[in-house]
Amino acid sequence: MDATMKMTSSASKISCRAAPGSLLPPLSSRVASKRIVIGAAAPPEGAATAPAPFDIRSSDPLRPVASNARTSGNILPFAPPEATSSKKLRTPRKAPMDGNEAAAHVAYAVSDVSFIYPITPATVMGELVDQWAAEGKTNVFGNVMSVTEMESETGAAGALHGALAAGSLATTFTCSQGLLLMVPNMYKIAGELTPCVLHVTARALARHALSIFGDHQDVMAVRQTGWAMLCSHSVQEAHDMALVAHLATLRTSLPFVHFFDGFRTSHEINTIEMIDNADIQELLSKSVYAEAIRHHRTRALNPTHPHQRGTAQGSDVYFQCVEAANPFYDNAFEHVLAAMAEVTAITGRSYKPYEYVGAPDADKVIVIMGSGSQAVEEAVEYLNGTGHRVGVLKVRLFRPWRSESFLGELPSSVSKIAVLDRTKESGAAGEPMYQQVAAALHQLELDNPTMPRRSIVGGRFGLASKEFLPSHAVAVFENLDAPTPMRDFTVGIMDDVTRRSLPPSQLLPAGVSTLPPGTFECLFWGMGSDGTVGANKEAIKIIASNTPLSAQAYFSYDAHKSGGVTVSHLRFGPSKIRAPYLVQQADYMAVNHQSYMAKYDTLAGLKPGGVLVLNTTFTTVESLSKYLPASVKKRLAALQPRLYLIDALSVARSSGLGKHVNMVMQTVFFNLSGVLTMDKAIALLKKSISKAYERKGPEVVAKNHAAVDAAIAALKHVEIPASWADVQTAALHPNPPAKTNSGSRWEFMEQVARPMLALEGDKLPVSIFSPEGFVPPGTTIIEKRAIASQVPVWKSENCTQCNICAFVCPHAAIRPSLAQPGELANAPAAFTSIPAKGPGLQGLQYRIQVSPYDCTGCDLCTHACPDNALEAKPLSSVLEVENANWDFARSLPVLDNLMDRTSVKGSQLQQPLMEFSGACEGCGETPYVKLLTQLFGDRLIIANATGCSSIWGGSAPSNPYTTNADGYGPAWANSLFEDNAQFGLGIATGTLQRRQALHRRVEQLLAAPQEAVAPSEKLRSALSRWAEHYQDAEVANVVAKELQPLLEAEKDTAGPALAAVYAERDMLHKPSTWIVGGDGWAYDIGFGGLDHVLASGENVNILVLDTEVYSNTGGQRSKATPMSAVAKFAAGGKERPKKDLGAIAMSYGDVYVASTSLHANYGQVVKAMTEAERYPGVSLVLCYSPCMLHGISSGMCSAIDESKMAVDTGYWPLYRYNPAVKEDSSHHRFQLDSKKLKGDIHELFAHENRFQILERKAPEAARHMHEVMDESVHERFQKYKNLAAGGPGIASQQQAPPKQQ
Ligand SMILES: Cc1ncc(C[n+]2csc(CCOP(=O)(O)OP(=O)(O)O)c2C)c(N)n1
Ligand code: SF4
Ligand code: SF4
C-alpha cells in the first residue's frame, strides 16, 4: 500500500497528504511494534534500535507555500541521548519547594508566553510566573515571559492555541473544571500537532460535590484528546518531568499534559535538587531542539509564507487525516525515553516511562501512577524486608501507551497484578489504567498462547486526596494472595454498601512505621488565618536550607474560610523522605489552641513519649487539670509525653500581634526540637520574618521579632500527674453508631456532621451517605466553634434599638429579641431587657443578644453601634452566662410580623435564614446574603456560583441556610463557577413552567369540576384566590399556606384533578430566584452567561458580591479589580480600570440595576433588594463587599468606615435604576443615592494594603494611577448626577416591556 494518499472531495476539494512513504519506518517495523512478544523489554535507550521518529516537516521559512503544505510528515533528526556518564554534573542547588514551584521553574525557563487562570491547586504556578515576569526575570532564551490572565480556562486555552499557531513557545497551568473547559481546544492543539506543555495539578471533578483535592479524574477526562500524558510522582519529579515534557513536546510535536497530584504533590514542600537553567539552555541548543523550535516557528501562521488551518472536512478525507497522525504517536515513546535520558545526563537522576522497583523475582506487583507509588514503594521495601517477593510498577507515560515497553518492565516471575487507579469511571468494566494494562496483558497472551496466565485485578484509591498509606498497599498485596482476589475493589474507605473495600492489612499493622530510620515527625494544630501554616512553611524551609537534612511539609485544612482547623505535617531526617501521606505518629506536637484538646482527637497522632506543647491560658497543672476532659488526661497519662505549657496568646498580645501566636509557637519548636542551635534558629527566624512581612511594613516585622524574643521565657515544662491515669472517663467517642443513609436533618447532624466536624469523617462508612450529596438545612447550628477571643455584650442603658448591630453582623451571631413580659418569667437572671420602642412594638420587651459560641469576634457590631451600647468582653468571662441567655432568646417565638420587613429595623426582626457560616471574621459578603434571607428567605431559591459564597455557604457538612418555624427556608444549589447565570435562569424557567401548569390545572378544576366529590367551598374559594394572584408573591404565598391543610384534608376524598393539584402543592408558593456570585464569576468567567440572562427579560434577580478580586482562590485580579490595586496575577498593580458592569446592564434599558454598599447605607440596600425582587424582569444588585484581602490597615472591624469612605469619595457610587418608574419631570428611572462627594479618595488608598503595595514599590506609577482614578470618579459622579436629573445617557434602544410571567 502506498503510504501517500491523496483524496479529493468533490464537495470540499480538500486534499490530505500523509507522511511520504519513503520517510516512514518500514511498514513491517510498524506492524511488528504492535505485536507483543513474551519478555520483550522496552527498546534500549538510544537511537540505534529505536524506530525512526517523525518530524512534522523539514522547515524553511523561504520555502514555497505549496511545498510547505505537502510536507507535514518528514523526519525530525532523532538525537540519540547522551550517555549519563559522559556529562560532568554540576553540583545541584538544593532547595525546599512545593510541586507547583518545582514545575513552574521549568515552565518559566522554557516558555515565552502563558495565559493563566486561577484554580486550586494549580493557581500557584500562574502566580509564580506572573510574579517572575513582573520582576523581569528572563528565561533561557533571554526573554521575559508574557503572562496574561484570561477570563476563564476556555479563554486561556483559546489564547494558548492562538499563541502556538503564531509560533511561540506557550504553556499554561490548570486542573479539574478548568481542564474540562480546555477540552475543545486541546483537541485542536493536538490535531494540529503542536508542541505545548500544560502543567496540571490533578484534581477531583465536581460531581455530587465539588472537591479541591487531588485525584486523576480530570486528567483521565482528557486522555482521549490526543495529548501525551506524563505523570510526576513526587516534588522532585514535578521539576524533572516538567523538563522531560517540554523536551519531548519539541521532539514529538505532540502536546503534553504534565500532571502531578493536586495538593499531595503540588502543595507538599520537599527538598529538591534544582536543574540549572544553564543546563537547560545547553540542552535546548542541541540541533534536535533548535531545529524543532525553528520548525515550530516556520510553520506558524505568517503572511510571508501563508497557509490555512482549521478547515472543514467531509466524510471523504477526515478519517484519513486523523490516521495520518499515527506515526507521531507510534514514535513518541522513543522521544520520551530520549528526553528522559537527557535529563538524566544533566541531573544524574534516571527515569523511565514505566519503571519497576522491587524484588527481581517478585510474584506480585502493583501498577500505579502518581504520588501513591511512593507509599507502595515503602510497602514493597517493608514486605521484601520481611521475606516477601513483591514490586511496584510506576507508570509515568500514560499516553501514548506502549504495551510492549510496559510489559517488558514486569519481571517474568510475576503472576499476580493489581492495577490501582486514582479515579472512578462509573459503570465501566474497570478504570482506565486497569483497562489499559488488562488489554496489554490480553494481547500478550493472545500472541503467546503457551505462556502461563497472569491474574489481574483493578482497584481504586485516594479519590479527593483520601489518605493512601503503605498499609493500604500491603492490603492490596494481601488481596492478591486471597484464593479469589477481589476485583474492582477500593482501599482507604469502608464500603459497607457494595462491599468493595479491602479489609485492613494484617501484615502491616497500624502504628508500624515504614519511614527511613531517624525521620523526625511533627504535627502543628493551628487555626485558619492564625499564621501557623505560614510559619511552618518558613520553618521547614529554614531546616532544609540550613541543615544537611531532607525535609517535607504538608498542610491539611478544613473548609472554613478562617477560624477553621489547620494541621501542619512536618518531617525531616537524614534520608530522602517520600511518605506521601499525613504524619501518623508525631515525635513533636504543638496544639496552638487549647480548645482543640477537647474538640478533636489530637492525641491520636502523638507518639508515646513524644513532645507535646500546648498553648493555654491554664499554665499550671492544677488549672489545666480542671480544664482538660478526663479522657484527654487519661490518654496523656498513657502516652507520657514531655508536656510543655505556654500562654502564647499573652506573649503575642504583649508583642502587639493580637491573636497571632504563630511566631511564639515556632520559636518554641526550634527551642525544643534542637534541630538548629537556638542562636542560629533565632537569627534565621528573624530573617525570614523580615522577608515575609516586608510587604506589610516595618512595624509588623518589629512586632514579630518581639514575639520571637519573648517566647522562650514563657515556656514551662510540667510533669503529668500520676493521678491522671486513674481518672474516670466517659466513652471516648460519643458519636452514635452510623446508620444507613442518614436521612433526617437530626440524623444527619448526629451521624454525619458531628463526626466530620470532629475531623473524623475518614471513619464514616459508605452506607451513611446519600449518594447525591444533598445536605439538610441549618447544620451550622451544631458547630459552636467558640473562636472569638472577645465577644460583644449589650449595655441596655445606651441602646436606642436601631438593630444596626444585627444588620452588619456577618455571622448572624447577634440579634434583637422581642418578648411579651410574661414570656420572661423563666428567663435567666442576666437576661435583662428594656421596653421595646417603635410602632407595633408597644408592650413588648427588647434585648440584643449575642451567641458567644457563634460570634467570631470581628468587632464589626461594636464599631457599627451608633450609641456605644456594645462592649467587647473576653469570651471566657461571658461564655456561660451569655450562652444561657442566647439559648433562652432562641426559645422565644419569633415576632416577625409586627414591623415592615422592608425597613432596616424591621428586617432585623425577621429570622435570618442564613446563620453561622464559615466566612472570615468581618466578611463583607455574608451580610448581603443574610439580609436576602430576612427579606425573602421563606421563598428563596439561590443559584450560587462557585466562590467564597459557595464555600462559606455550602461546604459539607456545614449548611448555614436554615428554616423558619414552618420549615420553610432558602433552597440553595451550586452548579459550577462558569455557568451560574444560566443555571439560575434554568431554575427560574423550570419553576415558572411548573407553576403555570399548576395554574392551568387549578383553573380547569375551578371551571369544570368533574370530580366525583367536588372540593369544599372553602377550598374552592382559596384555590380561586390563588389562581387570581398566583404571580403576586405576597398574596400567593399567604393563600398557599392556607391551602396546605385544606388540600391535605380533602386529597383522599376528592377526585384525580384535585389529587393532581395536591401532588404539585409545593408550587403554590411563588419562589424568588436569586443568582448569586462574586465578581470573578460576574465580570469574567460567567459574564457571557450573565449577559445573556440580562438580555433575557425573565423574572430573575442577580446579586453580585463584589470583593474586587477572586477571593476564594486567594485574591487574583478580576475585571472588577480597581486600577493600581496589587492583586495576584497583577503583581505589578492593575493597569486597567474596573469594568462598569452596572452601566453595561443599564444599557439594556429594561434591567433593574442597583449599586449598593450595605455598610455605607443600610436603607438603600434594603430598598434596592426589595425593588429588585418586585421588578418583574431581570434585576442586578451590585454589592460592595469588603474582604480581608483588601488589607484594611485597621482590620475588618473598620469595614464600615472604609465603605462609607468609598461611597463618600465616589469610589463606589450608590444608585438605583428602575425601569418600572414612569419617567416624568419629577420621577426618573435613575436615582443617585450617593450624596455630594466628600473626603479624599487618596485617604482610602492609604488605608488599604492592596493600594499601598504599589505605593511602596512604584510610588510614581501609583500616584499617577490614583490621580487618574480621582479624576474619573469625579467625571462619573457628574454623569450620574445628570442622569438622575433626567439627562440622556442610559438606554439608547427602546425599552422592551417585561415578559408576562
Ligand atoms: C472552571 C473553573 N475555573 C476556576 C475555578 C476556581 N475558582 C473557584 S472560585 C474562584 C474565584 C471566585 O471569585 P469570585 O467570583 O470573585 O468570588 P469570591 O470568591 O470573590 O466570592 C475560582 C477562580 C473553578 N471552580 N472553575
Ligand atoms: S463581633 Fe462580629 S460576629 Fe460577633 S456578634 Fe459582633 S458582628 Fe457578629
Ligand atoms: S469574601 Fe473575603 S472576607 Fe469573605 S470569606 Fe471570602 S476571603 Fe473571607
pLDDT band at 86 (very low <50, low <70, confident <90, very high): low
pLDDT at position 100 over 50: yes
Question: From the CB of 1111, is ligand 3 less than 6 Å away?
Answer: yes
Measured from the Cα of 856, ligand 2's closest atom is 3
Mean pLDDT, to the nearest integer, of 168-195? 98
pLDDT, one tens digit per residue, over 621-636 is 999 999 999 999 999 9
pLDDT at position 639 over 60: yes
Which has the closest alpha carbon to 961: 988, 948, 942? 942
pLDDT at position 1011 over 60: no
Q: Which one-letter DSSP state was computed for residue 458?
A: E
Please report the pLDDT score of residue 1291 as a whole number: 53
506: its cell numbers: 494484617
Amino acid at 428: A
Please report the pLDDT score of residue 730 as a whole number: 61
923 alpha carbon – ligand 3 mean position (Å): 5
CB 1170 within 8 A of CB 1074: no
Question: From the CB of 1077, is ligand 1 less than 6 Å away?
Answer: yes
385 alpha carbon – ligand 2 mean position (Å): 58
1118 alpha carbon – ligand 1 mean position (Å): 10
911 alpha carbon – ligand 3 mean position (Å): 23
Question: From the CB of 923, is ligand 1 less than 6 Å away?
Answer: no
Measured from the Cα of 812, ligand 2's closest atom is 8
pLDDT, one tens digit per residue, over 803-823 is 999 999 999 999 999 999 999
Nearest residue (by CA) to ligand 3, atom 7, is: 1111
| Residue 1117 CA from chain centroid, whole number | 16
Higher pLDDT, 924 or 1056: 924
pLDDT band at 1012 (very low <50, low <70, confident <90, very high): low
Residue numbers annotated as active site:
120, 153, 203, 1112
pLDDT at position 944 over 60: yes
pLDDT at position 70 over 50: no
Mean pLDDT, to the nearest integer, of 528-539? 90
Ligand with minimal distance to 917 CA: 3
pLDDT at position 325 over 80: yes
Question: Which residue of 124, 977, 980, 1184 sits with most ligand 1 atoms within 8 Å of its CB, as the best mutation to test the pocket?
Answer: 977
pLDDT at position 30 over 70: no
pLDDT, one tens digit per residue, over 102-148 is 999 999 999 999 999 999 999 999 999 999 999 999 999 999 999 99
Nearest residue (by CA) to ligand 2, atom 6, is: 861
The ligand 2 site (C-beta within 6 Å) comprises 791-792, 809, 811, 813-814, 850, 855-861
pLDDT at position 640 over 50: yes
Ligand with minimal distance to 122 CA: 1
1043 alpha carbon – ligand 3 mean position (Å): 42
Q: Which one-letter DSSP state was computed for residue 13?
A: -
Question: From the CB of 977, is ligand 1 less than 6 Å away?
Answer: yes
356 alpha carbon – ligand 2 mean position (Å): 58
Nearest residue (by CA) to ligand 1, atom 25, is: 977
Question: From the CB of 1172, is ligand 1 less than 6 Å away?
Answer: no
| Burial of 522 from C-beta contacts in 10 A (0-12 / 13-18 / 19+) | buried
pLDDT at position 1030 over 90: yes
3-state helix, strand, coil in the chain (%, to 5): 40, 15, 45
Mean pLDDT, to the nearest integer, of 719-725? 96
Nearest residue (by CA) to ligand 2, atom 3, is: 855
863 alpha carbon – ligand 2 mean position (Å): 10
Ligand with minimal distance to 1080 CA: 1
Ligand with minimal distance to 810 CA: 2
For residues 742 and 736, give the distance between their C-alpha atoms in angstroms, rounded to a whole number.
12
pLDDT at position 13 over 80: no
| Burial of 1297 from C-beta contacts in 10 A (0-12 / 13-18 / 19+) | exposed
Measured from the Cα of 918, ligand 3's closest atom is 5
Ligand with minimal distance to 789 CA: 2
Nearest residue (by CA) to ligand 3, atom 8, is: 920
Higher pLDDT, 870 or 81: 870
Answer positive or negative: Cα dihedral of 1130, 1136, 1138, 1139: negative
Please report the pLDDT score of residue 1145 as a whole number: 98
Please report the pLDDT score of residue 71 as a whole number: 36
783 alpha carbon – ligand 3 mean position (Å): 19
Question: From the CB of 919, is ligand 3 less than 6 Å away?
Answer: yes
Question: From the CB of 1189, is ligand 3 less than 6 Å away?
Answer: yes
Share of the chain above pLDDT 90, in %: 85
Q: How far is CA 72 from CA 61, 78, 83, 1219, 1266, in A?
A: 14, 16, 31, 59, 53
pLDDT band at 41 (very low <50, low <70, confident <90, very high): very low
Question: From the CB of 118, is ligand 1 less than 6 Å away?
Answer: yes
Q: Is the peptide bond before 121 cis (omega within 30 degrees of 0)?
A: yes
Please report the pLDDT score of residue 976 as a whole number: 97
pLDDT at position 67 over 90: no
Nearest residue (by CA) to ligand 2, atom 2, is: 858
946 alpha carbon – ligand 1 mean position (Å): 6
pLDDT at position 568 over 70: yes
Measured from the Cα of 860, ligand 2's closest atom is 7
Helix boundaries (H) for 554-657: 596-599, 621-627, 630-639, 648-654
Question: From the CB of 459, is ligand 1 less than 6 Å away?
Answer: no
| Residue 619 CA from chain centroid, whole number | 39
Which has the closest alpha carbon to 47: 394, 349, 406, 342? 342
CB 199 within 8 A of CB 262: no
Nearest residue (by CA) to ligand 1, atom 17, is: 1078
How many other CB atoms sit within 10 Å of the CB of residue 503?
A: 12
**Mean pLDDT lowest among 149-163, 568-582, 650-664:** 650-664
Nearest residue (by CA) to ligand 2, atom 8, is: 809
Question: From the CB of 947, is ligand 1 less than 6 Å away?
Answer: yes
pLDDT band at 1052 (very low <50, low <70, confident <90, very high): confident
pLDDT, one tens digit per residue, over 206-249 is 999 999 999 999 999 999 999 999 999 999 999 999 999 999 99
325 alpha carbon – ligand 3 mean position (Å): 49
For residues 943 and 983, give the distance between their C-alpha atoms in angstroms, rounded to a whole number.
7
Question: Which residue of 562, 856, 917, 920 sits with most ligand 3 atoms within 8 Å of its CB, as the best mutation to test the pocket?
Answer: 920
pTM of the predicted protein model: 0.92
pLDDT at position 907 over 50: yes
Measured from the Cα of 947, ligand 3's closest atom is 6
Query: Which SS3 state, helix, strand or coil, does residue 1186 take?
Result: coil
pLDDT band at 1295 (very low <50, low <70, confident <90, very high): low
CB 490 within 8 A of CB 500: yes
Please report the pLDDT score of residue 66 as a whole number: 30
pLDDT at position 69 over 70: no
Please report the pLDDT score of residue 47 as a whole number: 32
pLDDT at position 58 over 50: no
Question: From the CB of 948, is ligand 1 less than 6 Å away?
Answer: yes
pLDDT at position 1069 over 50: yes
878 alpha carbon – ligand 2 mean position (Å): 14
Please report the pLDDT score of residue 899 as a whole number: 95
Nearest residue (by CA) to ligand 3, atom 1, is: 1187
pLDDT at position 1252 over 60: yes
1210: left (phi over 0), alpha (psi -120 to 50) or beta: left
1078 alpha carbon – ligand 1 mean position (Å): 8
For residues 890 and 609, give the distance between their C-alpha atoms in angstroms, rounded to a whole number.
46
Mean pLDDT, to the nearest integer, of 1110-1132? 96
Question: From the CB of 1183, is ligand 3 less than 6 Å away?
Answer: no
Measured from the Cα of 858, ligand 2's closest atom is 2
Q: What residues contact residue 1281 under an 8 Å CB cut-off, 6+ apart? A: 1232
**Mean pLDDT lowest among 601-615, 729-743, 1264-1278:** 729-743
Question: From the CB of 1074, is ligand 1 less than 6 Å away?
Answer: no
For residues 1143 and 757, give the distance between their C-alpha atoms in angstroms, rounded to a whole number.
44
pLDDT at position 1154 over 80: yes
Please report the pLDDT score of residue 6 as a whole number: 33
pLDDT band at 559 (very low <50, low <70, confident <90, very high): confident
Mean pLDDT of the chain: 90
Mean pLDDT, to the nearest integer, of 470-476? 98
1270 alpha carbon – ligand 2 mean position (Å): 34
Measured from the Cα of 1118, ligand 1's closest atom is 16
Nearest residue (by CA) to ligand 2, atom 4, is: 855
Question: From the CB of 174, is ligand 1 less than 6 Å away?
Answer: no
Measured from the Cα of 206, ligand 1's closest atom is 25
Question: From the CB of 299, is ligand 3 less than 6 Å away?
Answer: no
Measured from the Cα of 949, ligand 1's closest atom is 21
pLDDT band at 530 (very low <50, low <70, confident <90, very high): confident
pLDDT band at 45 (very low <50, low <70, confident <90, very high): very low
Nearest residue (by CA) to ligand 1, atom 11, is: 1110
808 alpha carbon – ligand 2 mean position (Å): 8
Do strands 1152-1156 and 1179-1184 pair parallel, antiparallel, or not at all (unpaired)? parallel
Measured from the Cα of 809, ligand 2's closest atom is 7
Please report the pLDDT score of residue 590 as a whole number: 98
